[in-house]
Structure 1
Amino acid sequence: MKIAFISDIHGNAVALEAVLNDIKQNEIDKIYVLGDLCYRGPEPKRSLELIRSLNTEVIKGNADEWVVRGVREGEVPQKVIELMNVERDWTFSKLEASDIAYLAKLPTSINCEVNGIRINAFHATPDSLFEIVLPNVDDAGLQSSLMSSQDAQIYVYAHIHKAYIRHLNGKVLMNVGSVGLPFDGVTKASYGLIEIEEGKLKTSIQRVDFDAERVIELYRDVDYPNAEMMSGIVRNARV
């Protein structure tokens, strides 16, 4: 059984298509989606349509919550909140009422069992859509923040746009990185892969090429607010 976890598409349908093609070529059996579907990319509607066409389990990320109700004080630095809400309003304007209702109703976690292996997946932490847990946190911090809410063998999250895998006390913690806006300096889309077969478990991070210059062109074509900064992130894979 091959399971892909994708997340943080952020309206980058070009990268999402590349990842979905890679998943198909790898003959992956199941896809789970860990949130942040539309906001901050040039193609929010098409990205959401691609995700919904998968007919799979999707959970909510902080950016999905922002599309629904806006960015609030205390959730981002005060100096950027106005601009981020301009971007949010632009994204909101490209979606239909049914899309907003879909985002609003998304659950916040996935708990599944595959061939006896229990998996707990969420966007940022089990208790928050917004908390940031980076890969340099010590083992105790990772366990208390990310691995205490469910009795699972594998814990999967996203949100930070930096993929990694850690093994703690016989369990696996995986961050799947970002499809649309990687922040780790590697200008390739990222997703997590779990393979379970006859009691054997394998986890890996997959990196996929996509046409970054086409995405940058789209930011300009659609007159996206804050296009220059977002184009720089796409081109350099850094904030």
Structure 2
Amino acid sequence: MKYMFASDIHGSAFYCEKTVQAFKESGAERLILLGDLLYHGPRNDLPKDYAPKKVISMLNQMKDKIYAVRGNCEAEVDQMVLEFPVMADYGVLVLNGITFYATHGHIMNEEHMPPIQPGDVLIHGHTHVLRADKVGDHVILNPGSTSIPKEGNPPTYGILEDQTFKILTFSGEVVKEISLKQ
């Protein structure tokens, strides 16, 4: 099965539309959102076409395809307008035989590892910096930010297909790829 991961939309209708389009074109069965969906946050400039109400509408139309976790910019009011759960700090997902600990990254991250087992994958957003690395007996993934990438990275998202994770630009360029096979 194929899954898409995206993080840090931050209320950008422009990049949310690109995310939705990439999801539809990818053939993925689920879109896993790693937080910071509607609000840009006090440390970030406004992203391109900042329009949280449009983002709400686009995401709600896909509510049956989305799994989401809470970012540091999510609040109770976000849950009041979004028609899918967004307030969980993490989700444990078994995808294609691999256990993923999905979180935003502001609480659990490489410096503060969650209770995962060897071979498990920690996937998070928050830093706006894409990553796909084996660290010890774990894999650390970050699909980057769809709207406000940092450290010179382009806007990106991730695709899990079988046991391969790819980070792609919205033009379809593979920026990074890693095999998750043991």
In the superposition, the TM-score normalised over structure 2's length comes to 0.76
1:45 to 28, 35, 53: 53
Q: For residues 105 and 154 of structure 1, do their structure 2 counterparts lie closer, same or farther at Cα, with a shift above 3 Å needed?
A: closer
Instruction: Report % sequence identity.
Output: 24
Cα drift, residue 98 of structure 1 = 3.1
Q: For residues 103 and 57 of structure 1, do their structure 2 counterparts lie closer, same or farther at Cα, with a shift above 3 Å needed?
A: closer
* C-alpha distance in 1 between matches for 2:85 and 2:74: 8
Q: Is the 8 A contact 1:33 1:59 kept in 2?
A: yes
Query: Which protein has the bigger helix share?
Result: 1
Provide the secondary structure at the position in 1 that maps to 2:133.
strand
Report what 1:78 is aligned to. none
Q: Post-superposition, which runs of at least 4 consecutive aligned residues in structure 1 deviate over 4 A?
A: 102-105
Provide the secondary structure at the position in 1 that maps to 2:92.
strand
Report what 2:168 is aligned to. 206
CA root-mean-square deviation: 2.6
In the TM superposition, what are the counterparts of 1:172-183 in structure 2 within 5 Å? 172-183=139-150
1:11-70 residue CA offsets vs partner (Å, 9 max, x unmatched): 1011111122122222122211111011124201111222222222211111113x85xx
What is the total number of aligned residue pairs between the two structures? 160
Query: Which protein has the bigger strand share?
Result: 2
Q: For residues 105 and 29 of structure 1, do their structure 2 counterparts lie closer, same or farther at Cα, with a shift above 3 Å needed?
A: closer
1:58 to 41, 50, 68: 68
1:60-100 residue CA offsets vs partner (Å, 9 max, x unmatched): 111113x85xxxxxxxxxxxxxxxxxxxxxxxxxx8x9328
Could you tell me which runs of 5 or more consecutive residues in structure 2 were left unpaired when the two chains were aligned: 41-45, 172-182
Q: Is the 8 A contact 1:60 1:103 kept in 2?
A: no
Cα drift, residue 104 of structure 1 = 9.3
| Structure showing greater Rg | 1
Could you tell me which runs of 5 or more consecutive residues in structure 1 were left unpaired when the two chains were aligned: 69-94, 134-141, 210-239
Cα drift, residue 9 of structure 1 = 0.4
